[in-house]
A and B are shown apart, each in its own frame.
Chain A
Amino acid sequence: MGRVWKLGDNINTDVIIAGRYNVTTDRAQLAKYCLCEVYPEFAQNVQPGDIMVGGHNFGCGSSREHAPTAILANGIKVIIARSFARIFYRNSVNIGLPVLVCEEAALSSEDGQELDVDLTTGEIRNLTTGQTFQSEPLDPFIARIVQAGGIINYIEEQGTLR
């Protein structure tokens, strides 16, 4: 169970973490500056297990992995959106940050509500309103990477990329 942090459409990578903060690989620093220019309360108040909810084209823009890394470093359990930009989606899968596409859950969830997400089944329950939603199923190969906790874990399990 986690609190919803609600964002809109086309949340780009410069908004998630501006380029000038990408001179570090330190996760605590990236976490601190996540969304700092548009949503300064986020980094200060987010709790591990919270859930980020976005609209269309979430994570558009740069391929810089600092963006999903900054979100994961804040303890976000899953991002639910109406659609994801493809490099961001791929980066999130690869670093083990679950990403789910669910139009109705993304539209109806509001900032501050509580959601419960089952990552295995993709079922999303809004504990504040009582509604239940089913997200789109992941491609089987992608599901294996997410389940392993990211591509590095997957490769360590498999011995190579296959």
Chain B
Amino acid sequence: MGTLAEEIFSYKLGRPVHAGETVVVDVDHVMSHDTTTPLAIQAFRKLNKQNKGRVFDAQRSHIVFDHIIPASTIAAATLQRDTRVFAKEQDMTVLQEGICHQVMPEKGFVIPGSIIVGADSHSCTYGAFGAFGTGMGSTDIGVAYTTGRSWFRVPETINVNIIGTMPYGVYAKDISLEVVRRLGVDGANYRAIEYTGEVIENFTMSERMTFANMAIEMGGKAGLIAADETTRAWLQGRTDKEYPMLRAQDPHYERVIEIDVTAMRPQVACPPDVNIVHPAEELGHIKLDEVFLGTCTNGRLDDLEIAVGILRGKKISPDLRLVVIPASREIYMEAMRLGYLEALAEAGANIGTPGCGPCIGRHFGVLAPGERALTTMNRNFTGRMGDPTAEIYLGSPATVAASALTGYITDPRAVLREAEVVG
């Protein structure tokens, strides 16, 4: 009985659990990536007496290299080398085929009703699958690698109910930016956000992942969407584990927010915070130096397809560079088969190997002083992509692709209609 978060914790603990309780619980999977594993290993080593030098379960402990792959500096390469030594010692596989939050579900490690802790703040993405996924620091992950457990204060839940009809040219990213605009950067602090409503129910798994991914930008502990037939269909062939289709049962929500999408417009988050959201059509004076399509937020096949629809047969503005990075090898291969990568390359895109790319300012499109970028990322903090005086704007894949053509932030609706007419 309760919110989806309470249902998941109750299921895991085998007894009714309520928001506000502090619990210790077994987790289903533990994940860390190339930047966060080194500190996790340090914590793990300190607990040598407890773990006797072995992780609790090598099949449920995952290291993903995605932030700087392949390594672009000696320092990064050295950390990765040392992490590989640890993984080999522990019989753990290092995954090097894409962004952690894309690869984990693709491999079948994310199922409804499970608890997953990841050493990355966007681990909330797993909530799209009705799993309680949450980001933690390296010491927490070292503890989880040792014990297979973590401590939680079961969160209260804010319900965001999304209704109406999705307008033309408006996508899941635009709606998720609207949620951040309304809740603010700490409006969901210490809370789980539970997304409901006909719009959510009609979303594909990819659109649900975009939504769940953004929960942390409001301070959310988790971004949950109850599993349904859409979830089951996506998981088909990826896991043979059984899982419960948990839903909220007579929940008490701390707050309910309803959003009707019917009259919404494409939106862009302006620097330096994710809640500074304005319609794209009001930002046409913002001249861009870089445009980036990718990340755990919007680097999937449907995102690439939208960009191809806008860019096929055209050339991007000569005043900027377009960086495209599919979120995983699986997506990269499928995009190659479908001709998407060819179409984007012909339009002038620089296409990169699956990973986080320029999102965290290490490679594949670092920004110079005073430069401006429009991206499909989830975060636009000062200095994130390079120089602290550079500016980062966030938008949907359609907004990003349309802007790559003009060189300025561009509402995609005009470009989309034109693309349809030309056929």
Contact = CB atoms under 8 A, between A and B. Distances in A.
Q: Check if A and B associate.
A: yes
B73 A23 contact: yes
Interface in B182-201: 185-186, 189-190
A86 B185 CA distance: 12
A64 interface: yes
B139 A161 contact: no
Given A156-B50, A161-B24, A161-B149, A22 B135 contact: no
The B interface, classified by DSSP as helix, strand, loop or mixed, is mixed
Interface string A41-69: 00000000000000011001111111011
B210 interface: no
A15 B151 CA distance: 28
A71 B73 CA distance: 25
Given A85-B189, A160-B50, A162-B24, A10 B273 contact: yes
B219 A86 contact: yes
A151 B136 contact: no
B52 to A, nearest CB: 12
Contacts of A152: 43, 46-47, 139, 142-143
Contacts of B35: 19, 22-23, 64
Given A87-B136, A150-B139, A152-B47, A25 B39 contact: yes
Contacts of B121: 61-63, 87
A107 interface: no
- Chain A CB count within 10 A is highest, among B22, B68, B149, B383, for B383
B110 to A, nearest CB: 18
A144 to B, nearest CB: 10
B47 A155 contact: yes
B90 interface: no
Interface in B100-151: 118-121, 123, 135-140, 142-143, 146-147, 149-151
Nearest to B75: A23
A90 B134 CA distance: 12
Nearest to A95: B139
B76 A85 contact: no
A83 B186 CA distance: 9
B146 to A, nearest CB: 8
A139 to B, nearest CB: 6
A148 to B, nearest CB: 13
B151 A86 contact: no
B135 A24 contact: no
Contacts of B24: 161-162
Nearest to A19: B360
Given A24-B75, A65-B39, A161-B147, A19 B46 contact: no
B381 A23 contact: no
B143 A151 contact: yes
Nearest to A65: B137
Given A23-B79, A57-B186, A155 B136 contact: no
B50 A155 contact: yes
Interface in A1-54: 10, 12, 14-15, 18-20, 22-25, 37
Contact of B139 (A23, A57, A65): A65
Given A56-B186, A87-B121, A63 B137 contact: yes
B143 A155 contact: yes
Contact of A91 (B137, B221, B361): B137
B47 A57 contact: no
A141 B382 CA distance: 35
Given A152-B46, A161-B147, A139 B22 contact: yes
A94 interface: yes
B364 to A, nearest CB: 14
Contacts of B36: 63-65
Contacts of A156: 47, 49-50
A12 B140 CA distance: 20
Contact of A90 (B79, B140, B185): B140
A57 B384 contact: no
B417 interface: no
B42 A25 contact: yes
A159 interface: yes
Interface string A136-162: 000111100000001110011001111
Give the 6 A-B CB pairs with smallest separation, nearest first.
A91-B137, A65-B137, A57-B186, A63-B135, A23-B75, A63-B121
Interface of A: 10, 12, 14-15, 18-20, 22-25, 37, 56-57, 60-66, 68-69, 83, 85-87, 90-91, 94-95, 139-142, 150-152, 155-156, 159-162
Given A20-B361, A23-B68, A83-B189, 8 more contacts: A25-B38, A57-B219, A63-B36, A65-B138, A83-B186, A141-B22, A161-B151, A162-B24
5 contacts: A19-B362, A23-B68, A66-B39, A94-B143, A156-B50
